[in-house]
Chains A and B, each alone.
Chain A
Amino acid sequence: MTEAASAKDAGGRSLDGAAAVARMGALLALTAIVLVPLLATVLGGFKELGELRANPLGLPHVWVWSNYGDILMSSRYWRVLGNSLLIATFTVALTLAASSMAAFTFAHLRFFGDRFLLSYIQLGLLFPAATAFLPLFIKIRDLGLLNSYWGIILPQVAFSLAMGILLLRNAFKELPDELLDAAMMDGCGYFRYFFYITLPLSGPILATVAVISFVGSWNNYLLPLVVLNSESRYPWTLGLMAYQGQYSTSWQLVLAFITLTILPAILMFLLAQRYIVAGLTAGAVKG
C-alpha cells in the first residue's frame, strides 16, 4: 500500500482517489505512532499512580496538577535547565569562535603544513567521542577539570571542531575572491576582513554550526555522566536520570519531569523549526 502510493507520487502528479486515501491513512497511522508515546507522557504526568496503571494512555479522569506544580516550584528543575543552558551557551560560543578562526585561516592562507593540519583536524569526523573516553577522563582529571563545567565544555568544543571547520571553511571559500582582493587593496588587513566581511556574510552557515553544537550539547549525556559527580552541576539529561532513579516507583512524577525537561527543546523546535531542520540536515549533508 505504502509502496504503491509512494511510487505514484514519485511521478509528481496528483493521485487518484483510492491511493490518496491510502496515503493519508498511512501518514496518519505513522503520526499516531510518533505522537502517542509523547502524549502518553504528557498526560501521564497529570495522573495518579493508580490511574496510570489502570489507564496508561487515555485522558486522566482526575487531573492532578500538583505533579507538575511541585516540579515547577522546585529549585532542582530550574537548576538542571540552567546548567544545561550555561554549558550549551559556552560550548556554542567557543565552537563558533575557535572553528571560524581556524576555518578562516585554512580558507585564505597557504603555509607550510596547512593541508596536513587540516586533515589532522578532519580526523575527528571519523570516530565517535566515546572511543577514547577513558583516556579523556584521565586527561580531564589530570587537568583538574573533573566535576566542573569546563570539563564538559572544552571536550565538547574539541569534538565539534572538525565538523565546524569543515562547514565554515567551505562556506568562507565560496565568498568571492574579488572581495578579499579589493579589501586588501584598500589596506584592510585579514583581521578586519574577518570581522567586518567574512563573519557578517556567513550568517546562515554560522547558524548551522551553532544549531548543531547547541543541540549536541543540550542533549549530551555520556560526557557529563563521566565528568560530573555533584548533583548541583548536573545538566537536565543527568538530572532526569537521577530523578528517575529517586522516584522510580512513581512513574507519574517521572513522566511529569520528562515532560517539563523536554519542553524547552520542543518549544525551541516549534519556534525555530525551519532553522533547526535545515541546520541539522544541511550540516549532515555538507559534512
Chain B
Amino acid sequence: MTATPTSFVEPRRRLSLNGWAVILVFLPPAVLLFTVFVAMPMGEASWYSFFNWNGYGRPEKFIGLKNYGYLVGNNAFTRALINNGLIIIASLLVQLPLAMGVALMVAGRVTGAVWFRMIFFLPYVLADVAAGLIWRFMFDGETGIASAAAALIGMPPVFLLASKDWAFSAVIIVILWKYFGFHMMLYIAGLQGIDKSLLEAAEMDGATPVQRFWHITLPLLGPMIRLSIFFSVIGALQLFDVIVPLTGGGPFDTTNTLVSYLYYFGITRMRVGFGSAVGVVLFCICVAFAFGYKRWFMRDD
C-alpha cells in the first residue's frame, strides 16, 4: 500500500515504482510530439526571422530586424492587419447580436426549434474551402446570385470578388454565414444554464420582457458572451481557408488576412526568414490577446 501523506499541499501518494513507470511510458509520446512539431518550430521561427533565408543550407545571412522593418508600412501587410480588424468588428457588431438573437428565438418553445438549430449549425461543420468555393459560385458575376440580382434590376453583371472595394465585404459575408451558428450554440448552452425561476420571479414582480432581458438574461449570459468574443477574435486571427477559394488574397492584395499574407508572401515564395517574422508578429498578437483578455475579462469565469 502506498497511500502515505507526503509534504505536498494535497495529500498524495508517494511515487511508487509503478508510478514512475507510468510517467516514463505515458508522457514521452505527447511531450515529444508537442516539442518537435509545435514548440520547436515556434522557437525556430523567432530565430529564423532574423535571417534572409530561402530554406536551403543553413541560415547564414543575418539581417537583424530587417524582416520586421519591411512589414512596417508595407501596404499588403497593413491591409491584412486592417482586414483582420474588420472581421473582428463585424463579428462583434453583427455576428454577436445575430447569434444571440437567434439563440433566444430557438431556445424557447418554438415550432421546429431543433431543426432550426441544426440548419444554422450546419455551415460550421463544412470545411472552409468548400464554403469558400460555394460562395465563389454565388458571387460569380456570370452564374451566381450576384448576376441574378443584377439582372433583376436590369444591371450588367456584378463581379463582387473582383472589386477592390467590395471583395472583402463578400469575404465577411461568407464568414458570418459560416460561423454565426457556432456562436448561436454557445448562447443556447448559456441560456440553458439560466435558472428559469429567476425569470419567473421577475415576471411575477411585473418586469416587462425587455427589462427581463436586459437585467437578467443578458448579465447571466456574460460568461458566454466573453467566450464568444474570445473565439471570434482568435478565429479571425487564424482565418485562411476561406480566403484561398474566394479571392486568393486579391484583387491587388486587398483581401488578405494575416495568415493568408503569411502564406502568399512567405510560404509560396519560400522566404523562410520573412515568413517567420510574420509568424512571430501573429504569435505575439495572439498571446498578448489571450493573456490580456483572460486577465481583464475572463477573471471570474
Q: Interface of A with B (CB < 8 Å)?
A: 2-3, 5-14, 23-24, 26-27, 30-31, 33-38, 40-41, 44, 52-53, 56-57, 97-99, 101-102, 104-105, 108-111, 117, 120-121, 123-139, 141, 154-155, 157-159, 161-162, 165, 181, 184-185, 189-191, 194, 215, 218-219, 221-222, 226, 237, 240-241, 244, 251, 254-255, 258, 261-262, 265-266, 269-270, 273, 276-277, 280-282, 284-285
Contact = CB atoms under 8 A, between A and B. Distances in A.
B19 A11 contact: no
Contact of A281 (B31, B41, B145, B185): B185
Interface in B242-287: 244-245, 259, 262-263, 266-267, 272, 275-276, 279-280, 282-283, 286-287
B272 A101 contact: no
Contacts of B283: 127, 131-132
A132 B279 contact: yes
Interface in B130-147: 130, 133-135, 137-138, 140, 142-145, 147
A233 B282 CA distance: 30
A105 B18 CA distance: 12
Which 10 residue pairs spanning A and B have beta carbons closest together? A128-B238, A158-B37, A219-B127, A102-B30, A132-B41, A6-B104, A101-B26, A135-B41, A135-B44, A10-B213
A24 B105 CA distance: 9
Interface of B: 1-3, 8, 12-13, 15, 18-19, 21-23, 25-27, 29-31, 33-34, 36-42, 44-45, 48, 55, 100-102, 104-112, 116-130, 133-135, 137-138, 140, 142-145, 147-148, 177, 181-182, 185-186, 189, 196, 199-200, 203, 209-210, 212-213, 216-217, 227, 231, 234, 237-238, 240-241, 244-245, 259, 262-263, 266-267, 272, 275-276, 279-280, 282-283, 286-287, 290-291
A136 B101 contact: no
A26 B106 CA distance: 11
A7 B213 contact: yes
Given A34-B119, A109-B15, A137-B267, A11 B125 contact: no
Contacts of B148: 56-57
B54 to A, nearest CB: 11
A34 B123 contact: yes
B93 to A, nearest CB: 14
A44 B140 CA distance: 13
B287 A6 contact: no
Contacts of B280: 131
A127 B34 contact: no
A36 B145 CA distance: 10
A36 B266 CA distance: 37
B281 to A, nearest CB: 9
A126 B290 contact: yes
A164 to B, nearest CB: 9
Contacts of A102: 26-27, 29-31
Contacts of B108: 9, 12
Contacts, number: 328
A23 B110 contact: yes
29 contacts: A2-B105, A9-B104, A12-B196, A12-B199, A27-B116, A52-B143, A111-B19, A124-B39, A128-B259, A131-B42, A131-B45, A132-B283, A134-B266, A134-B267, A135-B40, A139-B41, A139-B44, A154-B33, A165-B30, A190-B22, A191-B18, A191-B22, A194-B26, A215-B125, A219-B241, A254-B133, A262-B130, A273-B118, A280-B182
Given A121-B31, A241-B245, A269-B122, A111 B287 contact: no
A281 B128 contact: no
Contacts of A141: 55
B104 A158 contact: no
Given A14-B109, A258-B133, A101 B38 contact: no
Given A7-B209, A134-B275, A135-B276, A37 B134 contact: yes
Contacts of B240: 130, 221-222
Contact of A111 (B15, B18, B279): B15
Given A190-B22, A237-B129, A244-B245, A37 B138 contact: yes
B272 A138 contact: yes
B58 to A, nearest CB: 11
Nearest to A8: B209
Given A105-B27, A110-B12, A127-B287, A53 B33 contact: no
B200 to A, nearest CB: 7
A7 B127 CA distance: 33
A244 B267 CA distance: 22
Chain B CB within 10 A, most for which of A12, A141, A221: A12
Contacts of A99: 30
Nearest to B173: A33
B29 A284 contact: no
Given A33-B177, A37-B134, A109 B36 contact: no
Contact of A53 (B119, B142, B244): B142
A157 B12 CA distance: 31
A133 to B, nearest CB: 6
